[in-house]
Structure 1
């Protein structure tokens, strides 16, 4: 097939890149990708003209995808939404094994495995257009909703999905408060798995690689009877960690996952289809790969000027500091408090009187000797992360001619057990343990229809969600051991509707509305277990051993929200679409679960709300070989839920309002002769417009945490077809992120400077395309960059968790 020779405005594309490069030299890589997309027909002409040419592996990356972003099947290019869609085959061709890998190719998106303060493994921290959530606590909601086959995954633990047998992944950017609804203030990620078919088929795959990697996947699709089909998929993922736990030689950051799923599909006639699935995952690891980066030994209570010290009872001397226990105990810095106790109670030289040395030299002193680098930790406390997840769902589709009825019923459970040593030493300064149990039930009904000669399309729906569970945190600190957490319960009701009317053939008007009613409760089960000071520090307060930190009384929180959307779209040509959208989003409030010292009531925080304005266009050019999409948006973001350390525990509070301006560009080109190029650019400019005076941790000049101003990617693939029917495909990709802080306090020690990543893979498909072998390298330049970071001012400890280093892998796949 020959691409038509249409005039191409080469100077315009190059001119746009020149403007970008003048504004920011760092986006030159993206300009190169766009310039390649804006090629003259000469490159397109290089495509083979043979009539027997088949679609290459590289061409699969650029094919249009059918999505269900509006609850009905539509081409991704025809949906007036900012959506990045990836088919299962294209995800595989990109070398992505886990769902967080799609962030590499999606503008303005951050998707990380974030253990955060508690150490839960496989915990997703997702941000889209600057809005998201990093905390896994069940009393805090995510800012980006994750859906699997239409089922909302409520907890971030377990949302870091392994992509075993996926039909497609859709990333919807911006508030999706009407059709997806629950906690999609930043956007939604919708994963659709493959349904069983009437053909016996399947695949077997094995992968090995660096760090003793050993992965295996098996998928078998088998018809059972007329109209009844089944599919079984099972996978195991195993990999050593990359941070050595020195005390026992174990590696942290390892992978040990077993997951499986059974699907049954019953076509009970021409009008009714039932789909049932049950799945489970078992995850066992040695815990997250945190390392100790820096220690702050400063205290506002004890010797704040770092003066030479005199023993207790000494005559004051100008320019010196007389130790005055217990009244000057540095209770605002537990690392220093440990040395204070070791000096005054244990006779260890941990403070150094002249000159003052807060680290000391004794064996019982906490000091910088525990900063053992980015590949090891000297902690001796328990380290593990264990998750067990399972779920079942039943989907029913009735086709009644003018209308279709859909029902999605689902149940999910999470059982987690986590522990980590946050001080990275033989001492007990910061040791954490968590037990999480959670179950959820959801029911959704949808009514879809068309009328007025198909000029009016609509969807109406009802939604119910029920969640309950228990999360107990045991926190062992220098002065005290206490239990935090408690039982949580959530019930949510919603009704929604959306309609699209086409007054003329080229124009669509869409309006939608959702009403949500959330009802939450929390029963805190929090008390002091051990007062290690003998009562000297905390006996004078209600914080006596076995005393309640919060009243053992269930508290309630009721919220409701109305979230509308309105869109106008214009099909300029059969391959070009312009649109403008207005939408609102809502994220539930919650309870502050970690509390210390004691309080007489449970702290709460209110919902977040976002109002978004967006314009964009989508186009298919060069005989549908070039896709070029762009969007610009403004989001007004109110009552931001910001997590800060105001004492011992991280506290979530409504701290500010903000405006977020941004731009997104995505382009894909199937250039012929097996060539495929793609690129994306995301620009974000979030600014606080109002800060609560009580939120002293942030200012109007503060940066959003985990949000890069620039996210850019580019990739090129080349497929070579051989005379024997085999095909070789090579792919290389590059991604860039500008600098970002890992906490709301904008701690310089938790700032990740701008960085680039490079990946490459090579695949050979044997004749007949039933057997393929492949090899890949991720993080080709072995870049060390932060995946997350933690700092608590009460502990004085800066912790880093770096992403995995350079890794190679190789594998084989057999499809039948």
Structure 2
């Protein structure tokens, strides 16, 4: 439970901020100036509980970003939300350009391998994206983005134990409109985004958006000559909306994204003694030799229908299909020209598809509001890759400057997981009085999973028969595989996830609430599991369970010139799924991967989102997040002894800074017949561990990022010209890494870095 001293500190912190005049705003509180020059924080409408409500009335910690706010700040993609959202981590996954790593309040999933479930749910127009590949969404053609913190097991279901991120696109409307934006920046950045809405007939409209993002690399591959950390993305969306009456709405939406950016191999952090290779000075540079070809494709379609049966009941249906695929040569884990530790592929490395259907009944009566529904999803994810060990057959103490058939070892990993998910849910809010409200919800989920895993060693070759070998394999009998894992299994996971909240309006502008929520992330099968080292891998791993308790306040003060939203929370976390990869100690050699269900942990924290309107020209946004996360039990299987030991005292939560904060000043003035906005911003994150085990060579120390946007908008909003600078101090900070510190793995300690200092100018025409 949340102790009194912690609650006292959080309340005192909130009071002190208010006294400073800077604390209070909702994170998306945009300044609204009336004709009489009276300024107030603006009311924000969200759909966190699957129906439209004021953000201030929702008993959930929610941060909402409107399209206007993201545009004026020059946000490039969804990862920009991390800078100004408390206790949120949204980053590009290590070794990729468009796979998303998401953590909220210390809960998420680092490993994007098929079969592993994310801990933060990502939704596009209420369609759940089952896989993180291709989920680093560029920001275009949206209405808003919502970040829901804490488990959302009732309304959003499986795999939202940390929270959810909702990407809400714009409805077309009845009027002809369009927009064209062009951007130029350093690193030869060139972006074009266009959208149009065409009313075809009364109640029928067609709209579309197309975006092209292109940028040279931040660094260079000195082995192949290719650019690294570049960008080459083409994305499009088209929708058809039918509104035959004010009671019926139907939307068909199609989207597709292709990312052809070069492979991202990371930067070596330590010298490789066997080849006498020094560390490159540029953190975006590499010597990777595996190749640079890379392509990620995602596409989907959704059909949404809403029918207002009466003034009280609205029926809603969401039908969706999605698929994705990744192809290329793989990821170079060693950062060297020679294949000492490479993850190889030749063609399709990964692919997925999903179909989902959801039916809802939304209720809006005098004192009763809510939603009930059913949900179904059928999904499949599969892949194949080689773990290529150029020194795999060489003793640890032997120096091997060049891989050969005598020392080479390849581990082939291939498999698939099929998931059928069923759920029944409901969430009802009842007004006990004009000020006292209670909300009760529950969800029953059943996940049926079927997994297949095949893993084998191939000796004397740098590549398995499935992937084009780097060298000619040895002849029979040396090319006969040593099978490590070969099984098919099925498991079923069921969970009941309730939610209860009570809110009370102290007055018309201040609301306090207390909430309890339960979250569930289903178990599965380890696609990398080695049954010769850990026979239990065939049985799979179990689910994660979260029980969260939260107390919060949302209030407007000083005639709505001041807004302060704050929350403190305590989370009991059981069965956390942790992936460990270590060198194998017994023949056959290689890398052993296993998933442990950590016994238990607890997470405590606090969040403040605040903002103040000082005048019609000046406003300030502030955020603060605090997390105290600790493992209480962490049992692991010790390969050396064959026993299970508890290592909780030596483990840390990954991707979870203890402190994070941001400040954004918004200064506006009239200029040249329009309005000029200047927005300097600072964001801070304290030190983070990239893995559960502390690794000083790649763990990231605390850092601050400085951004600046200067935007002019014409009086009729038809023209907008902006200049945006991000990471102005050129901070070098890691967002991910790999750690294989042994001679057998070529001392492969690799870091992946966030973007350097960037500038761009943008011009936009709206009509």
Task: Indicate the TM-score class for this superposition, using the shorter chain for normalisation.
Answer: 0.7 to 0.9
Gaps of at least 5 residues in structure 1 are 1-14, 22-29, 40-46, 296-334, 336-358, 360-364, 534-538
Matched residue of 1:286: which SS? coil
- 335, 338, 348: which one aligns with 1:427: 338
Instruction: Summarize the Cα distance change of 1:473–1:532 in structure 2 as closer, same or farther, 3 Å threshold.
Output: closer
1:396, 1:17 → 2: CA distance?
43
Matched, 1:377 2:362: no
2:155, 2:343 → 1: CA distance?
39
By how many angstroms is 1:652 displaced?
2.5
Matched, 1:518 2:447: yes
By how many angstroms is 1:141 displaced?
0.3
| Native 8 Å contact 1:82 1:172 kept in 2 | yes
By how many angstroms is 1:802 displaced?
1.1
- Equivalent residues in 2 for 1:561-710, closer than 5 Å: 561-596=495-530, 598=532, 602=538, 604-647=540-583, 648-692=591-635, 694=637, 698-710=647-659
- 716, 720, 731: which one aligns with 2:665: 716
Gaps of at least 5 residues in structure 2 are 1-7, 25-30, 393-408, 463-473, 584-590, 638-643
- 44, 50, 73: which one aligns with 2:52: 73
By how many angstroms is 1:688 displaced?
1.1
By how many angstroms is 1:157 displaced?
0.7
| Native 8 Å contact 1:242 1:289 kept in 2 | no
2:89, 2:361 → 1: CA distance?
34
| Native 8 Å contact 1:33 1:714 kept in 2 | no
Aligned residues: 702
2:704, 2:411 → 1: CA distance?
43
Matched residue of 1:285: which SS? coil
Instruction: Summarize the Cα distance change of 1:18–1:603 in structure 2 as closer, same or farther, 3 Å threshold.
Output: closer
1:773, 1:590 → 2: CA distance?
50
| Native 8 Å contact 1:197 1:222 kept in 2 | no
By how many angstroms is 1:556 displaced?
0.9
| Native 8 Å contact 1:220 1:231 kept in 2 | yes
| Native 8 Å contact 2:289 2:339 kept in 1 | no
Matched, 1:500 2:437: no
2:657, 2:577 → 1: CA distance?
19
By how many angstroms is 1:689 displaced?
1.3
1:726-778 Cα offsets, whole Å, 9 max, x none, are 11110000011110111111111121111111000101113422111110110
2:51, 2:381 → 1: CA distance?
34
Write 1 or 2 for the structure with the bigger share of strand: 2
Which residue in 1 is equivalent to 2:480?
545
Matched, 1:455 2:403: no
| Native 8 Å contact 1:110 1:126 kept in 2 | yes
- Equivalent residues in 2 for 1:326-341, closer than 5 Å: none
2:258, 2:32 → 1: CA distance?
48
- Equivalent residues in 2 for 1:179-194, closer than 5 Å: 179-194=155-170
Instruction: Summarize the Cα distance change of 1:700–1:596 in structure 2 as closer, same or farther, 3 Å threshold.
Output: same
Matched, 1:755 2:755: no
1:561-602 Cα offsets, whole Å, 9 max, x none, are 000000000011111100000010001111111134746663
Instruction: Summarize the Cα distance change of 1:665–1:475 in structure 2 as closer, same or farther, 3 Å threshold.
Output: same
By how many angstroms is 1:227 displaced?
0.3
- Equivalent residues in 2 for 1:80-479, closer than 5 Å: 80-115=59-94, 119-288=95-264, 290-294=266-270, 359=273, 365-369=274-278, 371=280, 373-401=282-310, 402-418=312-328, 419-434=330-345, 435-451=349-365, 454-478=366-390, 479=392
The range that moved more, 151-160 or 266-275, is 266-275
Matched residue of 2:83: which SS? helix
1:711, 1:264 → 2: CA distance?
41
2:17, 2:225 → 1: CA distance?
46
1:793, 1:760 → 2: CA distance?
40
2:371, 2:547 → 1: CA distance?
23
2:428, 2:13 → 1: CA distance?
38
2:512, 2:284 → 1: CA distance?
50
1:20, 1:87 → 2: CA distance?
28
1:130-158 Cα offsets, whole Å, 9 max, x none, are 00011111200000000000000010111
Which residue in 1 is equivalent to 2:395?
none
| Native 8 Å contact 2:360 2:373 kept in 1 | yes
By how many angstroms is 1:242 displaced?
1.3
Matched residue of 2:270: which SS? strand
| Native 8 Å contact 1:638 1:656 kept in 2 | yes
Matched residue of 1:376: which SS? coil
By how many angstroms is 1:720 displaced?
0.3
By how many angstroms is 1:423 displaced?
1.5
| Native 8 Å contact 2:450 2:488 kept in 1 | yes
| Native 8 Å contact 1:384 1:420 kept in 2 | no
| Native 8 Å contact 1:124 1:134 kept in 2 | no
Instruction: Summarize the Cα distance change of 1:649–1:258 in structure 2 as closer, same or farther, 3 Å threshold.
Output: farther
Which residue in 1 is equivalent to 2:400?
none
What is the TM-score normalised by the length of structure 1? 0.82
2:371, 2:542 → 1: CA distance?
30
By how many angstroms is 1:420 displaced?
2.1
